Amino acid sequence: GAVVSQHPSRVICKSGTSVKIECRSLDFQATTMFWYRQFPKQSLMLMATSNEGSKATYEQGVEKDKFLINHASLTLSTLTVTSAHPEDSSFYICSAHLIVGEKLFFGSGTQLSVL
Amino acid sequence: KQEVTQIPAALSVPEGENLVLNCSFTDSAIYNLQWFRQDPGKGLTSLLLIQSSQREQTSGRLNASLDKSSGRSTLYIAASQPGDSATYLCAVTGANSKLTFGKGITLSVRP
């Protein structure tokens, strides 16, 4: 089946630093990828839709200057958490459709801990 | 605004038991519904996808049903095993192609 690779799986950083998370579709091309955030025992919340070659579409309440998304190729989307603070500590997951409207394939997630 | 509810939040059963996980959603105008499995600290694995025109899907010991008009879906797990222990999330795709997730049901199957 389709594979979505997400890296790194875990990152610990100091407050004020920026962290980049990569999401790759390994065996298919994804014009659209999705970035989610998940707090413990909570549901996944869609942060933004990453569109290849154009600007990402952010959900209401998500700061686009805080969470920078770049989708420069059909197989790679990156999420950069800029000037991270402890409240940004969360589990971030990306996903992509193999075929639009069909199953979503998810990366393995990135646990971000900001000290 | 679509809301997806999964109750209870946690469930513990003995091995071998057949069980049903419930999911309800408020807006019946959905494109499809998916059930996912999430292991601790991991991403999601899609288990079953039911298109809005379908009523159920089966994969191995799993069977998912969809009653769109009443806003309900169930995931049936037959002959549960300790390896089935995980969090099960349901999510609906709306007309805007966005997924709305429930909070999940954490299942523990006791040997």
- pLDDT tens-digit readout, B22-40: 999 999 999 999 999 999 8
The pLDDT value recorded for residue A1 is 62
Q: Cis peptide before B82, with omega less than 30 degrees from 0?
A: no
Q: Cis peptide before B8, with omega less than 30 degrees from 0?
A: yes
What is chain A's mean pLDDT, rounded?
90
pLDDT digits (tens, 9 = 90+) for A22-76: 999 988 888 889 999 998 878 899 999 988 888 899 999 999 999 999 988 889 9
Q: At residue A115, does pLDDT exceed 80?
A: yes
**Tally: H helices and E strands in chain B:** 0, 11
Tell me whether residues A109 and B41 touch, CB distance under 8 A. yes
Angle at A75 between CA A72 and CA A77, to 5 degrees: 50
Report chain A residues whose CB lies below 8 A from the CB of B44: 44, 93, 95, 104, 106
Q: How many Å apart are CA A49 and CA A94, to the nearest integer?
A: 10
Q: How many Å apart are CA A68 and CA A51, to the nearest integer?
A: 13
Nearest-by-CA chain A residue for B38: A108
Name the residue facing B103 among A6, A42, A105 (closest C-beta): A42
The pLDDT value recorded for residue B30 is 92
The pLDDT value recorded for residue B19 is 95
Per-residue pLDDT of chain B (111 residues; tens, 9 = 90+): 899 999 999 999 999 999 999 999 999 999 999 999 999 888 888 899 999 999 999 999 999 999 999 999 999 999 999 999 999 999 998 877 788 999 999 999 999
Q: How many Å apart are CA B80 and CA B47, to the nearest integer?
A: 15
Nearest-by-CA chain A residue for B32: A101
- A32 and A97 Cβ atoms separated by less than 8 Å: yes
The pLDDT value recorded for residue A101 is 61
E strand spans, chain A: 4-7, 10-13, 19-25, 32-38, 45-51, 57-58, 67-73, 76-81, 90-97, 104-106, 110-114
Neighbours of B39 (CB within 10 A): 12
Q: How many Å apart are CA B47 and CA B88, to the nearest integer?
A: 9
- Copy the structure tokens of residue B71: 């806003």
The pLDDT value recorded for residue A100 is 62
Q: How many CA atoms lie within 13 A of B6 on its CB side?
A: 27
Q: What is the SS3 assignment for B95?
A: coil
DSSP letter, residue B44 = E
Return the closest-CA partner of residue A18 out of A111, A91, A114: A114
Interface test with A, best of B24, B59, B89, B99 (most A CBs within 10 A): B99
The pLDDT value recorded for residue A42 is 84
Tell me whether residues A101 and B9 touch, CB distance under 8 A. no
